[in-house]
Amino acid sequence: MLNISSVSITFNEDTQDEKKALQDIDLTLDKGDFVTVIGSNGAGKSTLMNVISGSLKPDIGIVEIDNKNVTSIPEFKRSAFIGRVFQDPMAGTAPSMTIEENLAMAYARNKRRTLRTGVNKKRKLLFIEFLETLHLGLENRLTAKVGLLSGGERQALSLLMATFTEPNILLLDEHTAALDPSRAELITNLTGEVVDKFQLTTLMVTHNMQQALDLGNRLIMMDKGQIILEVSGKEKQELTIEKLLHEFQRIRGEQMANDRAILG
Ligand SMILES: Nc1ncnc2c1ncn2[C@@H]1O[C@H](COP(=O)(O)OP(=O)(O)OP(=O)(O)O)[C@@H](O)[C@H]1O
Ligand SMILES: [Mg+2]
């Protein structure tokens, strides 16, 4: 489904601020894989997401989706088969548009349909059906402006918009980080349900190690632009935060400098 080979990105090359954000990254995701991504600040997690979504082009290396080389395909053309939710609840939706208008916009991106944008009666029923799955009562607020929703509500809507078109790949970049614990838990649970329902191939960046352990069938740990640890299947099920921290120390010879990850 997704194949990344030998991808490197260096920012500000040959200057004092040179930063090797990704160094020779190889990663293959099979259809339905749900990979959680952890690593300290600046490890290269968001850069990896940007390379997959097409908002950044790698200096070296190839990105393939469904056996198609998309390395040079711009972000707006990839959006039909990639769904994305950002850390910032304000980023994924248009605040001055209503809930149904936002959904119609996302619906129009759907790779499997060629309908025009807009809201008709049949589609409205479909939107209501989808909103009901969130259990937030948003189905009764179709004409409410999205800017009036709470962060958690917006993030739930963003998740719905990113997924109800059944993208080939779902990218989640700390999409629960800005929410209070109970909302974060709600969105975490919704994520698990949605990914499961559509069998989406998913990469989820999180600072919350427990969340990284609870969700998904695979886990990768990044550090200094590299993938330093990959765990999957039964080994992942048996993983604990203590083991993860121990592994980091064993690989890097130092303690992980990230309180948020440990506490999270
Ligand atoms: N556009 C850019 N220009 C220059 N440097 C950048 C740019 N984008 C990212 N970087 C640098 O590349 C490194 C990796 O950044 P990235 O955002 O991928 O980290 P991250 O793992 O997502 O961190 P965080 O957990 O803080 O979100 C960082 O040192 C960052 O400062
Ligand atoms: Mg980031």
- 201-237: per-residue pLDDT in tens? 999 999 889 999 999 999 999 999 999 999 999 999 9
Average pLDDT over residues 143-152: 94
> What's the pLDDT band for 66 if we cut at 50, 70, 90?
very high
DSSP 3-state of 168: coil
Whether the model pTM is above 0.95: no
What confidence tens digit (pLDDT) does each residue in 98-131 have? 999 999 988 887 655 555 555 678 888 989 999 9
Whether residue 145 is predicted with pLDDT greater than 80 in this model: the reply is: yes
Task: Return the minimum-mean-pLDDT range out of 2-11, 65-74, 181-190, 195-204.
Answer: 181-190
Q: Closest residue (by CA) to atom 6 of ligand 1?
A: 11
Q: Which atom of ligand 1 is nearest to the CA of 87?
A: 27
Give the residue, 260 or 94, on which the prediction is more confident: 94
- Relative to the alpha carbon of 47, which ligand is closest? 1
Whether residue 253 is predicted with pLDDT greater than 50 in this model: the reply is: yes
Give the residue, 27 or 263, on which the prediction is more confident: 27
Report residue 148: phi and psi, to 5°.
-90, -10
Mean pLDDT (the chain) is: 89
Q: Closest residue (by CA) to atom 7 of ligand 1?
A: 11
Residue with tokens 């997924």: 163
Please give the distance, rounded to the nearest whole angstrom, from the Cα atom of residue 207 to the centre of ligand 2. Answer: 9
Whether residue 149 is predicted with pLDDT greater than 80 in this model: the reply is: yes
Whether residue 193 is predicted with pLDDT greater than 50 in this model: the reply is: yes
Query: Which residue among 36, 41, 206 is best mutated to probe the pocket of ligand 1, counting the most ligand atoms within 8 A of its Cβ?
Result: 41
Residues with CB under 5 A from ligand 2 (ion): 46
Task: Write down the pLDDT at residue 128.
Answer: 94
Closest CA to 44 of 10, 70, 15, 72: 10
Beta bridge partners of 231: 219
For the chain, report the end-to-end CA distance as a whole number of angstroms: 31
Residue with tokens 């999957």: 232
Task: Write down the pLDDT at residue 240.
Answer: 93
Query: Which residue among 47, 224, 226, 262 is best mutated to probe the pocket of ligand 1, counting the most ligand atoms within 8 A of its Cβ?
Result: 47
Task: Write down the pLDDT at residue 263.
Answer: 44
In this structure, the residues whose C-beta lies within 6 A of any atom of ligand 1 are 11-12, 19, 21, 39, 41-47
Task: Write down the pLDDT at residue 123.
Answer: 85
